[in-house]
Amino acid sequence: MKLKVKKISLNTGGPFVAVLNEDDAELLDVRALDRVNIKGIEAIVDISKENHKTAVNKGEIGVLIELFENLKLKNGSAVNITPANKPESLVFIRKKLDGGKLKDREINVIIRDVVKNRLSETELTYFVSGCYTHGLEMNEVVNLTKAIVEHGGELKWNKKIILDKHCAGGLAGNRTSMIIVPIIAAAGYIIPKTSSRAISSASGTADTVEVLCPVSFKVNEIRKIIKKTNGCLVWGGAIGMASADDRLIKIEKLLSLDPRGLLLASIMAKKMAVGATHVLVDIPCGKEAKIKDMKEALKLKRQFIELSKRLKIKTRVIITNGSQPIGNGIGPNLEARDVMDVLKGKGPLDLREKSLHMAGIMLEMAGEKNGLEKAKKILDSGMAYKKMLEIIKAQNGRVKNASRIKLGEYKKEFFAEKRGIVRRINNNKANSIARIAGAPEDKFAGILLNVKRNIKVNAGELIFTIYSSNKDRLRYASDSSDSFIEVE
């Protein structure tokens, strides 16, 4: 059947979608969520029933932006439409929903269809739900990791040692990567660090790096950056090397699900994709972190180690203190300021010490003796700061002194109501307050902490400040700050 193209200016965020008039759909014998073939590409069908200006009329096919651009269609041009079979992967998704164990090929087919945008958000949700309800055995996790890499691409290097690190997440202000990368790169090792943007936090590493330089680069551009500097700090979402993982994460966050097997595969696929041979994994543990108790942390540690052995990646896993935010700043500009201060020999002590501890371990993984001492020497000598400036320049950024990183035009200071000891700094609330203030989109917004847990404060002492570029947002954030810091 030939139909006239009607561009629909809507994004799906992934799958290819085409809209048919209900009469044409009936002639083709297709229903909503069935598939049609357009110029060799499969699209998921939606049905238009309403008879108004935005409806798809008989003889037309509505094409959403992703499909329109992929096929390079022209509005009003004619295309041939034929019914297509549903993806084979749906059979395997159903198998997982029923509690079955997926074989290598079955997982590969699912990931292939995810990458080719052949699955709807609903169908992907079923897969994530099946993994959450029934879990993934280690064989499934290994095969899932390999499939994500196979269908996304992989960086390869002519070096025996490629270092990388990952944090299981959950702590505000935990910007250790931005200090570790220049230390490792200054030591002469390659560290191709890809990072994520914030989803529920006040800032992801990529959001904070973006204060200093661009983070979106193609694979060939990343190669050039690393050739110049040994390291990079880029946004993983711009590379498309683990695009299947990106779509799965989107569903997980939407449902507030975090299936352990998908978490493990997600992390290690990204390490494999950048060619990492030696990986350090940080698991912050505490009531304020994603991993709440030591039993859960130790189990996750064992799983990381087992998976790494199966993937032939040398991995070290550390469990760190997750009781409060790291650093003083929470929000892109505030966190960037902390990082640049630490690299210049100042800044928050907890951020400095944790970064040095991790960098030291990574250097020892690479064969260095007294890794911590070497990391300190590189940082204290200014070598790490110089290397960071090189990376910023290679990523087309401008060098910024910490003091010149601007904060929000509007601010509100909060003072201790009584003398006592800081017993709690609510990490989840920290992220919430900073996001209400505008972070991470408003890079000037966030929270500046003046205290840490177990520190004595006097009545009237400044304990934190909220910044924003918007008066109303500042007011809303301030109204939400009750019990953020508890003094007893």
Dihedral sign for Cα 350, 351, 352, 353, please: positive
H-type alpha helices, 167-312: 177-186, 205-209, 219-229, 243-255, 260-273, 294-311
CA–CA distance, 35 with 19 (Å, rounded to integer): 11
What is the rounded (10 degree) CA torsion for 210, 214, 215, 217? Answer: 170
| Residues 6+ away with beta carbon under 8 Å from 50 | none
Helices (H), 152-242: 177-186, 205-209, 219-229
Over the range 465-483, which residues count as b (16 or more CB within 10 Å of their CB) and which as e? bbbbbbeebbbebbebbee
DSSP 160-183: S-BEEEEE----TT--THHHHHHH
Which H or E element spans position 330?
strand 329-330
- 258 among known catalytic residues: yes
Active-site option among 24, 46, 207, 258: 258
Q: For residues 38 and 81, is the Cβ–Cβ distance under 8 A?
A: yes
Q: Which residues belong to the active site? A: 258
